[in-house]
Amino acid sequence: MARMRDLAKLIRTKNAGPFQLTLDILFEDLATYRRVKESGVVTRSLLSRLFRVGEEQVHLVFFEPAYAIKVTIPRPAVSGDLDDNDVFGGQQYAPLVDLEIPEVGGMEARA
């Protein structure tokens, strides 16, 4: 079983305006992208738990032409607000890096 950080070429978060974050997981090749997608690990339900937002607030897109998984979620605090500890949203990706991704058809994944 591999961790997301071992499979992805890039894992990042950034602002999608002052009220939302976008999460990007990019892969080097189609085989790796499909392995992660077909594992069933990356779901709205999982992202909801990891980032503590309602499942209905998670917009998840698997974008095969770019070998990418794109996610948009509400920011925990408005960018620049007194409660905001990451004005650019660039430090929010941490929960994604240790996700365990099984081989396709392999064991269940653990978060």
- Say what the pLDDT of residue 29 is: 97
Mean pLDDT of 67-89: 92
Answer yes or no: is pLDDT of 2 > 70. Answer: yes
pLDDT of residue 108: 46
- To 5 degrees, how large is the angle CA 61–CA 17–CA 40? 20
Going by their DSSP bridges, the two strands 100-101 and 20-27 should be labelled as: unpaired
pLDDT tens digits, residue range 39-66? 999 999 999 999 999 999 999 999 999 9
Q: Name the band, by pLDDT with cuts 50, 70 and 90, for residue 105.
A: low
Nearest by Cα to 73 from 91, 50, 98: 50
Edge-first strand order for the sheet with 20-27 is 8-15, 20-27, 68-74, 59-63
